[in-house]
A and B are shown apart, each in its own frame.
Chain A
Amino acid sequence: DAGVIQSPRHEVTEMGQEVTLRCKPISGHNSLFWYRQTMMRGLELLIYFNNNVPIDDSGMPEDRFSAKMPNASFSTLKIQPSEPRDSAVYFCASKGIAGPYNEQFFGPGTRLTVL
């Protein structure tokens, strides 16, 4: 298995532009998480899905952020319009239905820079 796949790995954009981050979870996993990591705030949970349904989006910072999961193998996180303070590394993680450890498997992250 290739693990969690994220694209792009790096994104540089200008303030006001729309940014779309993509994630492909591990096949068979039914939970998907979007996190944002910065030096100041650490790793923050933005939103998570169970069986493609958004369960908790209380971590989404503003209406400029939106996330979708149209099917079990794909999710997007969109920022429109982007602002310099959105610069961070965005991680996607997935988790299986059951298991003794309930561990999350993280992707490599997308480093977003908003100029």
Chain B
Amino acid sequence: AQSVTQPDIHITVSEGASLELRCNYSYGATPYLFWYVQSPGQGLQLLLKYFSGDTLVQGIKGFEAEFKRSQSSFNLRKPSVHWSDAAEYFCAVGGGSQGNLIFGKGTKLSVKP
């Protein structure tokens, strides 16, 4: 079955510390992978996406993610977190011919001063 797992429901990091949010997926075909961020009461903003090629992808706001096929993972990283990064982060997987994405349940990030 196709699924996305984000093992961490809530993470708290100190401002300036590094961040890694985990995402594991199960998908029968070649996956297209995405990370979205959602602030409270807002829509989803695309941070980055992976289709093919270089397995390390760069996104907006200083985020990057690495696709590891052997581990079925697509973890999101940021070297130095800012207070404005506090939000909920969603990993999603889809296929090129599929219209819909499958989302994880999200990881809520809190940033302490």
Q: Do A and B come from one complex?
A: no
Question: Interface residues, chain B, CB within 8 Å of chain A?
Answer: none
